[in-house]
Amino acid sequence: MKKYPKVSIIIPLYVISDRFFSDLRHYQNLDYPDFEILVVCDKKVDLPKLKGVKVKLLLTGKKNTGPAAKRDLAIKKVRGEICAFIDDDAYPDRAWLKKAVRHFKKNEIIAVGGPGITPQEDFYWEKVAGLSYESFFMSGAAQHRFIPLSPRYLNDWPAYNLLVRKSTLAKVGGYGNSFYGGEDTFLCLKLIKFGKIYYEPEAVIYHHRRKILLGFLSQIANVGLHRGYFARIFPETSRKLFYFLPSILTALLFSFVVIAFIQPPLISLLIYSILFFIFLGAMSVINKTNLITSILVGLCIIFAHTTYGIYFIWGLLKKDLKK
């Protein structure tokens, strides 16, 4: 592979907004000599002209097309050797492609993923959500998805920042699924049969967060639902204790609540336990923000774990989950 192979950046567009058009302009700053951008949408959109950047709009001809189907449509049209997947609510760091593409010199590496960092320009409540994700007490073993940590090999990575060899995508049949919230896990399960996925902490994109609390929890619920379903049907990468922990903690919490109301003297112990967990969550981000925001993060982590835990169990019990 040559030093700078052509890269095809694929963006499945769902939310058409001024912020998307603003984010799109960041691609003009990419420090990479040869790339194209393919935006896939259900409806015609007037995309802004970018200096020195080729942007092509692909129309699905359908309504409510999922991200996997949109990406698969684009894969058939790309001219690059590498497909770089990124979401419509994100934009790349200037060095994104150079930091990621260099690893494809090794034949065994067929995909590269990097972190999605909360942009500085996000609004306050979006930043609270971002800090929650960045906390170890929230993300645990998945913390490297939200902040740059040490390089490593992966068996699963979200498509908001994932680069894959086009030749490997052809071998596995692209995404080939209609999941909406787990389509990337399904893809990675196929990819790891043909090579390695590498985590490059410097291959950064900036990923906008959903506002606290409903938008944030809605996203968490969808993740929990799909991971629970995958834990049952795809045990290779999803049946891990890490993914079950929020459900275990949620079950313990609700059991404790019931017992405390049966035995009122235990109510104070329940309250102290919750306050202690909030304290741990707050202290995990106190070096990044002020005390009030840290406390809000601690509260958000409790809501997030509870929501994920409930929907994970629901996913485990569902017989089918396609879209």
> Quick check: 261 and 267 in contact, CB under 8 A?
yes
pLDDT tens, 8-42?
A: 999 999 988 999 999 999 999 999 999 999 999 99
Residue keyed to tokens 């567009």: 13
Domain borders along the chain are 7-114+157-207, 228-317
CATH architecture, range 7-114+157-207: Alpha-Beta Complex (3.90)
pLDDT tens, 71-101?
A: 999 999 999 999 999 999 999 999 999 999 9
Neighbours of 214 (CB within 10 A): 9
Q: What is the pLDDT of residue 177?
A: 83
Query: Mean pLDDT, to the nearest integer, of 112-121?
Result: 97
Q: Output the average pLDDT for the chain.
A: 95
Is 322 a residue whose pLDDT tops 80?
no
10 Å CB burial of residue 271 (0-12, 13-18, 19+) is exposed
State pTM to two decimals.
0.94
